[in-house]
Structure 1
Amino acid sequence: MRNLRATALAAGVLLTASLTVPAHAGHGPSYEWKLTPTGSTSQFRGLAAVSADVAWVAGSKGQILRTVNGGKAWENVSPAGADKLLFRDIEAFDAQRAVALSIGPGEDSRVLRTADGGKTWTETFKNPDPVAFYDCLDFNDSRHGLALSDPVDGKFRILETHDGGKKWSVQSTKGMPAALPGEFAFAASGTCLVAGPGRMAWFATGGGDRPRVFTTYDGGRHWKVTDSPMASGAAAGIFSLALRGPLHAVAVGGDFEKPDQAVKAAAVTRDGGKTWKLVPDDQAPAGYRSGSAFVPHTGQTVVAVGPSGSDVSYDGGWSWHQFDDGSFDSVECARTGWRTACWASGVNGRVAKLVR
């Protein structure tokens, strides 16, 4: 099962034309992606949007890039000797401080941290358990963060930090519900785990007979789990969660082996994840989607991306319209600042900013 997942996560897609399908007029602003050439051929599934000027990407070949001028130039700040690591997530607090996650079984799962804009990196966690496989991480604030591993001994495993990623410890699984047979998380965009205000965090799964969403409100000590009506299977489930406050969230996914199809591929909750309502297939994103994010200062606007294109929803995830057919794996919007600052990243070094 893990081999199948690893194959899927490593899969690339051919670059397709972009900016050919406009967002539907009358529903909201017309968005498009403005590419910011990186000069890289890595696949960037890790993405951190700090502001309209500052962003970080992390991906294959152990490569990490940073921009501080809105994508006009990208600086290679890759950790020394990391060329064999596969970065799948990165979280950044500003232009200087960032925490990156590499994935894989055993010691391939690592966390690295920089406090000087990537000039130097410190490895702050190396997974000693050959069974554990870390997928994604996120922070509630500049100090408190969690990282998620696939099940070990029948339960998902959580790493925690209270000092901005300098030190990590494995949490007890006493408050974690049992995993389903074959259940795991997708390391596709860094958004299988998302952290909210306070000590809130959510993570999503697939692989089993049904996808599920786990929620915690005490920093991962105790979790509740809810079934989702979305499709699941060996290559299907929930790939990304987007939160808007403590109650409203959107889940997107599908089957990565069928990137142009969207069957039971999106759902919405309005009650903090207690119940989920399936988005009808004719209103869902146009294909499998691996990343999603709410657009700041818009209230209800959500963007989702995947290998076959990008979609926008102006009503909080209930209906979607494709506005781009280029390939992206991840999308993230800056949480602070008055300007809309959403970035996307993906295959062949593609990184772009969302513009109107």
Structure 2
Amino acid sequence: MHYNYYRLVSGIIVLMLMLTGCGNWQPTGVDNTLTSQSSASLNGNNTFPSSQKNMSSTSSLGALSNLTSIHMVNAMTGWALSKDSLLRTVNGGVSWTNVTPKGVGSMREGALSVYDAQTLWVVFNKESSTSITVYRSTDGGQKWERAEINTTPWYGRVTSLDFIDLKHGWLLASYDVSMGSESVEVFQSNDGGASWKSNASAIINEKTSNDLPLAGSKNGLVFSNQENGWLTGFSHGDGIWLYSSSDGGLTWAQKAIVAPQDYFTAGGSVSTESPHFFNQKEGVLPVEFRGEKPPAFVFYKTKDGGLSWTPTTPVQIAQKSQEYRGFHWSIIDATHAFVSDGYKLYFTSDGSHSFVCITPNISLEKLQQLDFTSEKLGWAIIDGGLWKTIDGGHTWVQIKVSIRANH
């Protein structure tokens, strides 16, 4: 889905090599040989509490596997998270460098927000920790700065991280899930992640603040500008679950969304996913209708900055008898996007008014994420492994390379 969440972005020679010999490729030897350094300035006088550089890369190699998410900035440069590391490629996935900040240690799934080929923020969730560490790099993962958020007494994990520019970002911390409710807290940074403040919270057995909902499972927090944000997820109640803020996440209100005619929306059968905005006014909101027979996926569109949302043509599993495998999608721009139902691919070039069905050469049963940078070029994570296409999803080749590890 992140991611997809989240924006994927052309080396023709490298792509042709992938089709002829990807199984024999070796790392290109890209090092991030670094030394320690004191804190660097962020936005004038603001600084992270500490900074560090990764130590020299060694020849220790590990297989490219156990990937959980990928974000390609363009055809050549991108980032990927595995279950134990953060990786970066500068050659379209031919080789990867482990740029995990030194000292991260054991971690659970992470969250990241990519600004460009050099700049990103990342959180590596820790087991039973009352603090959240936000890392930032502005040089492609060579040097890292870090900031701590104290969540005492709550054990928090970040489920969403979103920066709209070099200064303004938000994160969603999840504390507890119980009986259809989830304790969460919204934090905001106005200095590039050097410091964070709590804007709103909803905590079980505690007083909620600023109308942030306690009920429901939350899966995404996205802002289109400094004021307007959306919180997505689902609940066991009826209807389509969506909350919005118009003051930077300080206060929240439920947003009414109308389902397509005759679509089932009762009892938690519908989930919203993080919206994707192309500009201040235009955006799309992915919505899954799991109660349908067969289940369906719909891009809702807005042309007024999220004040109203209109459904487009649904994508449904081809056969009612087929098992529901979940939907995954990749949004390229306002008119082009890919959707998969775990069986086939569907491509739109007219803003989701119509879709063309694509039957790929591989099984999509264990598809975890799609990531397209153009109508032809895309990546997919399938069962933890990385695959690539240069013909719009018809033909996929697995990327079987090694990665250079940092120590």
Q: TM-score, normalised by structure 1?
A: 0.68
Q: Distance in 2 between matches of 1:79 and 1:143?
A: 21
> In 2, distance between residues paired with 1:184 and 1:224?
16
Farther off after superposition, 162-171 or 229-238 = 229-238
Q: Alpha-carbon deviation of 1:73?
A: 1.4
Whichever residue aligns with residue 196 of structure 2, its letter is: W
User: Aligned match of 2:241 in 176, 193, 212?
Assistant: 212
Q: How far, CA to CA, are the matches of 2:309 and 2:139 in structure 1?
A: 42
Aligned match of 2:191: 163
**Structure 2 residue aligned with 1:52:** 75
**1:239–1:249: structure 2 CA closer, same or farther, 3 Å change rule?**
closer
Distance in 2 between the 1:285 and 1:242 partners? 23
2:110 and 2:158 in contact (8 A); partners too: no
- Sort the Cα spacing of 1:333 and 1:202 in 2 relative to 1 into closer, same or farther, 3 A: farther
Q: Residue 140 in 1 paired to residue 164 in 2?
A: yes
Distance in 2 of aligned mates of 1:238 and 1:105:
27
Distance 1:200 1:149 in 2: 19
1:273 equivalent in alignment to 2:306 = yes
Instruction: Kindly provide the amino acid, as one letter, of the partner of residue 184 in structure 1.
Output: S
- The farther-off stretch of 239-248 and 35-44 is 35-44
2:385 aligned residue: 349
1:1-356 correspondence to structure 2 within 5 Å? 39-45=63-69, 47-60=70-83, 62-103=84-125, 107=129, 110-126=133-149, 128-129=151-152, 130=154, 132-150=156-174, 156-173=184-201, 176-179=210-213, 181=215, 183-186=216-219, 192-197=220-225, 199-209=227-237, 210-228=239-257, 229=259, 231=265, 237-245=271-279, 246-253=281-288, 263-270=295-302, 271-278=304-311, 283-284=315-316, 289=326, 291-296=328-333, 299-305=334-340, 308=343, 310-323=345-358, 324=360, 325-326=363-364, 327-332=366-371, 343-345=379-381, 347-350=383-386, 352=388, 355-356=391-392
Q: 1:135 to 1:295 in 2, by over 3 A?
A: same
Aligned 8 A contact 1:239 1:289 in 2: no
Q: Which runs of 5+ in 1 are unaligned?
A: 1-8, 10-33, 187-191
1:113-154 CA-to-partner distances (Å, cap 9, x unmatched) read 233432344442355242644211111112211112348898
Contact map agreement 1:106 1:127 (CA 8 A) in 2: no
Q: Which residues of structure 2 form unaligned runs of 5+? A: 3-17, 24-61, 202-207, 319-323, 393-407
Identity over aligned residues, as a percent? 19
- Inter-CA distance 295–143: structure 2 relative to 1 (3 Å threshold): same
Distance 2:298 2:375 in 1: 28
In 2, Cα distance between equivalents of 1:83 and 1:346: 26
Cα deviation digits, residues 178-221 of structure 1 (max 9, x gap):
4263x0223xxxxx233324543323111332442223344323
CA distance in structure 1 between the partners assigned to 2:242 and 2:64 by the alignment: 35
**SS state at 1:237 partner:** strand
| Matched-pair contact (CA < 8 Å) for 1:329–1:346 | yes
Check 1:70–1:249 CA distance in 2 against 1; reply closer, same or farther (3 A cut). Answer: same
- TM-superposition CA deviations, 1:292-322 (whole Å, max 9, x none): 44313xx412223565554323332344444
Q: CA contact under 8 A between 1:67 and 1:73: conserved in structure 2?
A: yes
Structure number with bigger Rg = 2
Taking the aligned partners of 2:341 and 2:148, their CA distance within structure 1 comes to 30
The amino acid of 1:78's aligned partner reads T
Question: Secondary structure, in 3 states, of the residue corresponding to 1:56?
Answer: strand
C-alpha distance in structure 2 between counterparts of 1:63 and 1:211, whole Å: 35
CA displacement, residues 21-74 of structure 1 (integer Å, 9 cap, x when unaligned): xxxxxxxxxxxxx898893221323x33322221101131x2111011222211
Q: Tell me the SS of whatever aligns to 2:384.
A: helix
Deviates more, 1:265-274 or 1:104-113: 104-113
Closer, same or farther: CA 166–280 of 1 in aligned 2, 3 Å: same
- Letter of the aligned partner of 1:266 in structure 2? V
- Secondary structure at 2:161 match in 1: strand
1:330, CA displacement in angstroms? 3.4
Q: CA deviation at 1:339?
A: 10
Note the alpha carbon deviations across 1:214-249, whole angstroms, 9 max, x for none. 233443234343144375766862234333332431
After superposition, the CA RMSD in angstroms is 4.0
- Distance, in Å, in 1 between the alignment partners of 2:211 and 2:317 is 30
1:31 paired residue number:
none
Change (3 A) 1:158 1:354: farther
Q: State the one-letter code of the partner of 2:221.
A: L
8 A Cα contact 1:266 1:285, kept in partner: no
Asked if structure 1 preserves the Cα contact closer than 8 Å seen for 2:184 and 2:214, the reply is no
Residue in 2 aligned with 1:12?
none
Give the AA of the match of 1:244.
Answer: F
Counterpart AA for 2:248: G
Q: Are the counterparts in 2 of residues 240 and 252 from structure 1 also a CA contact under 8 Å?
A: no
Q: Which amino acid aligns with 1:115?
A: T
